[in-house]
A and B are shown apart, each in its own frame.
Chain A
Amino acid sequence: MKNHKLFTLIFFISILISCNSDDSKKSTDKDSFDRGALLENWADNIIIPSFENFASYTTDLEEKTEAFVQEPSEANLASLRASYEEAYIQYQTVAMFGMGRAETINYRMFLNTYPVDEAAVKGKIESGSYNLELFTSYDEQGFPALDLLLNGLAEEDAGIVEFYTSHADASEYRNYLQAVSTRINGLTQEVLADWQNSFRDEFVSNTASSNTGSVDRFTNDYVMYYEKNLRSGKIGIPAGAFTGNPVPQNVEAKYSEGLSKDLYLKALETVQNFFNGKHFGKSETGPSYKQYLDHLNSVKNSADLSSLINGQFDVIKQQATNLNADFVEQIQTNNSVMLQAFDELQKNVVLMKVDMLQALSISVDYVDTDGD
């Protein structure tokens, strides 16, 4: 294997190369990027406004649920369903913000664990006995449970309404539906209040560049959300990217025909907007990963890393135009398009998880495990 002549020839060169590689870990304390301003922009212009916005939708969701529960008509079902769909879409704008109260209470798990356990939900409704606060009940509540309760009980709206009117357990169905909506709103108000009261300052002032600092922790969360929840949850797992066996029943919002793609696109847009520090609901931008990377002059293969990442987001959005509005249907008719989406999403996992984190000198605090 060893060619000693060649080895001698390249000896001095390789010393330089190897020593250079030791230099790649720069000390973050010495990079002059203003982490405090970055965190302020995130908290004040993006995270808190996103939660404020979402909380108005969950309030509406709870109200529309009350209206339907009091008078279960097809018209009220349609109005509740519209509120649910819009709230589910708006949820995608806060789903990735997993720090603070959201982390303590496992907010994301309670709001959006799918697939919903249809048998468990129906069993609990019929028994009339349930406790949505249990950590074993993640997949019996949140938006996936609403998806089932508003769309999955019967083919026609008239049939769905019957579950809340003439069904033997109609009053339990009404109670459960109400409990699910109330809990979505309650947890959301709780997370929002925490950001508004104390967590904002705690978050913004923790400018340390260690693995306990806000930037490091948030960034791990951000990349993990992109990899696990967006890439794997919305696309990879239902497409069977890891097993070779597609599972259309694992599509997000599987009972809501045509909603899955909207959820995906909203999540994608949110991740990219955040990357660019775009203020929620506005066109202006502030300190961001993009600015941070540009400040560090991060390049890969002689291209700006931030441009590569944004360029790849654009490719992903372009590819999404090939996707059916309903992912269940897409998987059943031509799963290749889902796999293509997965492969495009994966490219930004590499650019962000490897290149961006390296540039920002942030170490990954979660690992992939293949279970062996």
Chain B
Amino acid sequence: MKNALFATVVGGLLFTSCTVDDNPPIEIDNIDVPETYAFERNDNSSVNFEGQTTRLVMVGELLSSFNDFDNATEASLSNMYSNVNDPFSSEELNSSSKSIKSKVAASQLYFTGNTEESHALKNDFESFITGQVNEVFPNKNEVATPGVAGQIADGSSVRYVNGKGLEYNQAFAKGLIGALVADQILNNYLSVEVLDAGDNVEKNDAGLTEEGKSYTTMEHKWDEAYGYLYGHPTVPVANPNAALGDNADQLLLKYMGRVEADPDFAGIAEETFEAFKLGRAAIVAGKYNVRDQQVEIIRENISEIIGIRAVYYLQAGKRALEAKKMGTAFHSLSEGYGFIYSLRFTHNPATNAPYLSTSEIDAMLEILMDGDGFWDVTPEILDALSATIAAPFNYTVAQAAE
């Protein structure tokens, strides 16, 4: 077969037989890219990401309960995390088969065959809940001091921290941006292993939809990636950037809005959206190499958002420390802690691995929590961590800082 093939190539047929797969600029001309993320088959929308919307709403309700000292219990929060025992206010959420926890650190690419680490990471979020209820709740009327959980003033706001100055709700929320959202988008739904699983390619080529649905499996996987970023019910499905900075998403989209607002990174929101849109259109057109190029853009941009925000909060924490505003500093550092945690789930297209190694990330988290935690962290330490984070990315600490 190989000899015959080589003869074909030498015979000069290569341009007719083979260029199609290797000449993206020509293909893009053949892809019908809509203005907005609106795709149809037989006059029905073929876009669906209900499961993602459900989880984003669950996260919202869980986070709003995190500081509900009067009503929340370890069990109620943990039940929400796993969606067991009807924990949510809405019957629709309770009866859905989805849960947050089952999709934490659960991507095909990073965690298949790596269940032990997956479980350890899933349980980190349980431990944030445990800490909140067992350390912070009993001390809600104490003033926090080194080694003592309690409340601390951040300007006119009150923050509730553990003995090391960490706000568990921030660690939980910002950690989920990586462990749930980025991991599912970058390392699960946009991975070739998921997009091209089984006979997805053949069926997509043939336009064979899932039973009773208007989408092919591959289209649906792509939409599920899209849904983790843009799927909050307060975000317009087809044109999400219209509501950037004006929606109730608390995870990745919120911080894409923040990064977009920094002139150093303006354009990242549009570039990411366009990549999602073109990639989806490329699936419809069966142009998989164009699709995969968009995956690289999305992987790079979303990873960068996490990295930028990690540095941003460390630097904001540093400025507040220097101004002796401890509460403000701890709030920023708690957010930074969550974003550093999320780096574990980034995806560098050049290496197909996280931008920073697990050991580097763990070491940084350990440094922040060492001794009395944020109480004895120094500006020098925060600068060093910022530099470590920025190093593998295409931005400087200064660009990310403000």
Q: Which A residues form the contact surface with B (CB < 8 A)?
A: 1-2, 11, 14-16, 18-20, 23, 26, 239-245, 335-336, 339-340, 342-343, 346-347, 350, 363-364, 367-368, 370-372
Q: Are A240 and B19 in contact (CB under 8 A)?
A: no
**In the complex, the 5 A-B pairs of residues with the closest C-beta atoms, listed nearest first:** A372-B51, A244-B122, A18-B21, A339-B115, A243-B102
The answer, yes or no, to whether B18 is at the interface (CB within 8 Å) is: yes
User: A243-B82, A244-B118, A244-B122 are contacts. A23–B5 as well, Cβ < 8 Å?
Assistant: yes
The answer, yes or no, to whether B99 is at the interface (CB within 8 Å) is: yes
A residues near B99, Cβ cutoff 8 Å: 243
Bound complex: CA of A177 vs CA of B104, how far in Å? 43
User: A346-B113, A347-B113, A367-B217 are contacts. A19–B198 as well, Cβ < 8 Å?
Assistant: no
Give the one of A2, A239, A336, A343 with max B CB within 10 A.
A343
Bound complex: CA of A93 vs CA of B16, how far in Å? 53
Bound complex: CA of A347 vs CA of B113, how far in Å? 7
B residues near A243, Cβ cutoff 8 Å: 82, 99, 101-102
Inter-chain pairs besides A244-B82, A244-B118, A335-B119, 14 sampled, C-beta below 8 Å:
A1-B297, A18-B21, A19-B9, A19-B17, A19-B18, A242-B102, A243-B82, A245-B84, A339-B116, A340-B116, A342-B115, A372-B49, A372-B51, A372-B52
The answer, yes or no, to whether B242 is at the interface (CB within 8 Å) is: no
User: A19-B18, A367-B198, A371-B51 are contacts. A241–B115 as well, Cβ < 8 Å?
Assistant: yes
**Contact mask for chain B residues 106-122; partner A; CB cutoff 8 A; 1 contact, 0 none:** 10000011111011001
**Contact mask for chain B residues 235-263; partner A; CB cutoff 8 A; 1 contact, 0 none:** 00000000000000000000000000000
Nearest CB of chain B from residue A333's CB, rounded to whole Å: 15
Bound complex: CA of A364 vs CA of B201, how far in Å? 13
Nearest CB of chain A from residue B183's CB, rounded to whole Å: 13
Give the one of A19, A240, A335, A368 with max B CB within 10 A.
A19
Indicate which residue in A1, A11, A241, A372 contacts B22 across the interface (CB closer than 8 Å): A11
Q: Are B17 and A346 in contact (CB under 8 A)?
A: no
Count residues of chain B with CB under 8 A from any CB of chain A.
43
Q: Are A371 and B198 in contact (CB under 8 A)?
A: no
Nearest CB of chain A from residue B134's CB, rounded to whole Å: 20
Bound complex: CA of A1 vs CA of B28, how far in Å? 14
Bound complex: CA of A335 vs CA of B118, how far in Å? 13
Q: Are B198 and A244 in contact (CB under 8 A)?
A: no
Q: Are A339 and B9 in contact (CB under 8 A)?
A: no
Instruction: Enumerate B90-108 residues with CB–CB distance to A below 8 Å.
Output: 97-99, 101-102, 104, 106
Q: Are A18 and B197 in contact (CB under 8 A)?
A: no
Bound complex: CA of A99 vs CA of B102, how far in Å? 33
7 CB < 8 A contacts A-B: A2-B293, A23-B2, A239-B115, A242-B102, A243-B102, A364-B198, A371-B98
B residues near A336, Cβ cutoff 8 Å: 116, 119
Nearest CB of chain B from residue A168's CB, rounded to whole Å: 33
Q: Are B18 and A18 in contact (CB under 8 A)?
A: yes
Instruction: Enumerate B160-174 residues with CB–CB distance to A below 8 Å.
Output: none
Q: Are B1 and A367 in contact (CB under 8 A)?
A: no
The answer, yes or no, to whether B304 is at the interface (CB within 8 Å) is: no
The answer, yes or no, to whether B123 is at the interface (CB within 8 Å) is: yes
Nearest neighbor of A368 in chain B, beta-carbon distance = B197
Q: Are A339 and B18 in contact (CB under 8 A)?
A: no
Bound complex: CA of A260 vs CA of B1, how far in Å? 49
Nearest CB of chain A from residue B214's CB, rounded to whole Å: 16
Nearest CB of chain B from residue A98's CB, rounded to whole Å: 19
Instruction: Enumerate B63-106 residues with CB–CB distance to A below 8 Å.
Output: 82, 84, 97-99, 101-102, 104, 106
Q: Are A26 and B22 in contact (CB under 8 A)?
A: no
B residues near A20, Cβ cutoff 8 Å: 2, 5
Bound complex: CA of A245 vs CA of B50, how far in Å? 23
B residues near A371, Cβ cutoff 8 Å: 51, 97-98
**Contact mask for chain B residues 19-47; partner A; CB cutoff 8 A; 1 contact, 0 none:** 10110100000000000000000000000
Q: Are A372 and B119 in contact (CB under 8 A)?
A: no
Nearest CB of chain A from residue B95's CB, rounded to whole Å: 13
Q: Are B50 and A372 in contact (CB under 8 A)?
A: yes
Q: Are A343 and B115 in contact (CB under 8 A)?
A: yes
Nearest CB of chain B from residue A338's CB, rounded to whole Å: 9
Bound complex: CA of A23 vs CA of B99, how far in Å? 42
Bound complex: CA of A204 vs CA of B52, how far in Å? 47
The answer, yes or no, to whether B14 is at the interface (CB within 8 Å) is: yes
Nearest CB of chain A from residue B118's CB, rounded to whole Å: 7
B residues near A340, Cβ cutoff 8 Å: 116
Bound complex: CA of A78 vs CA of B305, how far in Å? 65
Q: Are B224 and A372 in contact (CB under 8 A)?
A: yes
Bound complex: CA of A11 vs CA of B23, how far in Å? 9
Q: Are A15 and B19 in contact (CB under 8 A)?
A: yes
Q: Are B2 and A15 in contact (CB under 8 A)?
A: no
Bound complex: CA of A336 vs CA of B115, how far in Å? 9
Bound complex: CA of A340 vs CA of B1, how far in Å? 42
Bound complex: CA of A242 vs CA of B197, how far in Å? 19
Q: Are A1 and B293 in contact (CB under 8 A)?
A: yes
B residues near A370, Cβ cutoff 8 Å: 51
User: A19-B9, A340-B116, A343-B113 are contacts. A367–B197 as well, Cβ < 8 Å?
Assistant: yes
Q: Are A245 and B101 in contact (CB under 8 A)?
A: yes
Give the one of B50, B82, B113, B123 with max A CB within 10 A.
B113
Q: Are B116 and A343 in contact (CB under 8 A)?
A: yes
B residues near A343, Cβ cutoff 8 Å: 113-116
The answer, yes or no, to whether B360 is at the interface (CB within 8 Å) is: no
The answer, yes or no, to whether B154 is at the interface (CB within 8 Å) is: no
Nearest CB of chain B from residue A226's CB, rounded to whole Å: 15
The answer, yes or no, to whether B362 is at the interface (CB within 8 Å) is: no
Instruction: Enumerate B378-400 residues with CB–CB distance to A below 8 Å.
Output: none
User: A1-B293, A347-B113 are contacts. A15–B97 as well, Cβ < 8 Å?
Assistant: no
Nearest CB of chain A from residue B101's CB, rounded to whole Å: 5
A residues near B2, Cβ cutoff 8 Å: 20, 23
User: A19-B9, A364-B198 are contacts. A244–B104 as well, Cβ < 8 Å?
Assistant: yes
Nearest neighbor of B4 in chain A, beta-carbon distance = A23
The answer, yes or no, to whether B199 is at the interface (CB within 8 Å) is: yes
The answer, yes or no, to whether B61 is at the interface (CB within 8 Å) is: no
Q: Are B198 and A14 in contact (CB under 8 A)?
A: no
B residues near A241, Cβ cutoff 8 Å: 115, 119
Indicate which residue in B18, B51, B82, B199 contacts A245 across the interface (CB closer than 8 Å): B82
The answer, yes or no, to whether B135 is at the interface (CB within 8 Å) is: no
Nearest neighbor of B51 in chain A, beta-carbon distance = A372
Nearest neighbor of A24 in chain B, beta-carbon distance = B1
